[in-house]
Amino acid sequence: MAKGEAARYRKDLQGEIDSASLYRALARTENDPRTSDVFRKLAAVEDAHAEFWRKNLERIGVGVPPLRPGWRTRLLAQLARRFGATFILPTLNVLEHADSGAYDAQPEAVDAGLPAAERSHARTLDALAGKSGLTGNSIAQLEGRHRAMGGNALRAAVLGANDGLVSNLSLITGMTGVTGSEHIVLLAGFAGLVAGACSMAMGEWLSVNSARELYANQMAGEAEELRQMPDEEREELVLIYQAKGLSESEARALAARLMANKDAALDTLVREELGLDPQLLGGSPYTAGVWSFCLFAAGAAVPVLPFLLLFGHDAIVASLAASIVALGLIGAGTSLFTGRGALFSAVRQIVIGALAALITYGMGRFAGMALTG
C-alpha cells in the first residue's frame, strides 16, 4: 500500500512542480502586470500543493530528491519565451481542465481542498484565455480547420506541418511504386509541396476572410439594432450582467453608463452577445495564408530533401527515415496539447503515417504494373 501511495504522491508532486514552473515562466513573459501577477499567484498556490505532497511522502518515510520540471513543461516554457504567453495559454487551459478532476478520488487531496483549488485554476485560465485572445500577427490565427480546443496555436502549427509531411510522403511513396526514377519522384515531390502549400494558403485565406466578412456583418447588424432599438439593447446588457452575478440594480446602473457611450455599448454587446473581439475579427487572412503555406511546406519538404542529395535506393531509404523521425517528433509534439505520453503519441503518429505511405505505395505499384502491362 505504501509503495502505491509513494508512486501516486511522487506523480502528484511532479505535476505540481511542473505547473508552478510553467506559471512562473508565463509570469516572466507576460507584459500585462495584472495578468503577470495572476500567474505568480497561481504558481504560489501550486508551490503550496507541492509542499503538501512532499509532506505526505515524508509521512510514509519516503525521501524526496530534488525534482526539476519535466520535458513538456520546459518546452512549453521555451515556446512562451519565444512567442509569448498567449501562444501556449490555450494549450495550458486544455491541460488544466483535463487535470482538474485528478484529485477527486484522492482522500488526502479532498481533505486539503485541492480539487476546489484546481477547478478554480481552470476557471482562471478560462478567463485569461478569453481576455487575452490572440493577435492577428500570431500563428494562432492560422489553420481555420485546426482551430478547435480554444484557438490552440500550438496545435495549429503541429497539425499544419503534419498535413504537409503525410500528404507529400504518401505522394512520394506512391510515385516510387509507379517508377524507379528518382528524378520523376523528386519532381512529383516538389509539385506536391508547391501545390499543397498553395492550396492550403488559399483555402486558409478564404476561410479567415469569409469569417471576417461574417463577423463584420454581424457587427453591422448589432450596430443597427443599437441605433433603432436602444431600450431593447439596454435590457440585453442588464441581462448579461445579471447572468455574471450582478444584482439587477447594479446591472442597470452599469448598462446605463455604457449606453451613454454608443461606441462602448456596441463594443460590449459585440463581445458579450456575439463573442467577438471587434479589434481582431478572426485575424489577418494574409497572415493566416502565409503561415499556412510555410507550415505545410515545412512538413512537405522532409520527404523531398533526401532526393536532392542522394540517388536511387539510398534516396528512398533516407526519405523514409527522415519522414519517420519527423512523424515521431510531430507525434511527440501533439502530446503537448493532448496530455498523452510522448512515446505513445510518437509511435501512433509513425504508424498512421507509415500506413498512409504503404497504401499509396501499393496503389502506385498497381498503377505502374497496369500502365506497363
Buried b (16+ CB within 10 A) or exposed e, 275-305: ebbeebbbbbbebbbebbbbbbbbbbbbbbe
Q: How many Cα atoms within 13 Å fall on the side-chain side of residue 353?
A: 32
Residues 57 and 91 grouped into a single domain: yes
Q: What pLDDT is recorded for position 324?
A: 95
Number of domains in the chain: 3
CA distance 284 to 176: 39
Q: Is residue 31 part of a domain?
A: yes
Rounded CA-CA distance 210/53 in Å is 51
- In CATH, what number is assigned to the domain containing residue 27? 1.20.1260.10
Residues 227 and 360 in one domain: no
Judgement on whether residues 101 and 166 belong to the same structural domain of the protein: no
> What is residue 139's predicted lDDT score, i.e. its pLDDT?
35
Task: Verify that 10 and 128 share a domain, yes or no.
Answer: yes
**Is there a domain that residue 46 lies in?**
yes
| Residue 241 pLDDT | 75
Enumerate the H helices of the chain as residue ranges: 2-29, 33-59, 71-83, 85-99, 107-111, 114-132, 148-151, 153-178, 182-228, 230-243, 248-259, 262-269, 285-301, 306-309, 312-338, 342-372
Centre a 10 Å sphere on the Cβ of residue 250 and count the other Cβ atoms it contains: 13
DSSP 32: S
- What integer pLDDT is reported at residue 138 of this predicted model? 39
Q: In Å, how far from its chain's centre is CA 350?
A: 21
338 and 189 co-located in one domain? yes
Does 359 fall in a domain?
yes
Per-residue pLDDT, 319: 92
Q: Domain for residue 165, yes or no?
A: yes
Q: Which domain holds residue 312?
A: 150-208+286-372
Contacts of 11 by beta carbon, 8 Å cutoff, 6+ apart:
none
Asked if 317 and 365 sit in the same domain, the reply is: yes
Confidence at residue 355, expressed as pLDDT on a 0 to 100 scale: 94
Q: Domain for residue 145, yes or no?
A: no
Judge if 107 and 221 occupy the same domain. no
Query: What pLDDT is recorded for position 279?
Result: 64
105 and 173 belong to one structural domain: no
Please tell me the distance from the alpha carbon of residue 126 to that of residue 261, in angstroms, as a whole number: 29
CB 72, CB 342: distance < 8 Å: yes
CB-based contact 109:115 (threshold 8 Å):
yes
pLDDT tens, per residue, the chain with 373 residues: 467 788 888 888 998 999 899 999 999 988 888 888 888 888 888 888 888 898 888 888 888 778 889 888 898 889 888 888 877 877 777 777 667 677 878 888 777 778 777 777 777 776 676 544 333 333 333 334 444 333 456 777 888 899 999 999 999 999 988 887 788 889 999 999 999 999 988 988 888 888 778 777 777 777 877 777 778 778 777 877 776 777 888 888 888 888 888 788 788 777 776 666 666 665 678 888 888 899 999 999 999 999 998 888 888 899 999 999 999 999 888 887 777 788 999 999 999 999 999 999 888 888 877 766 5
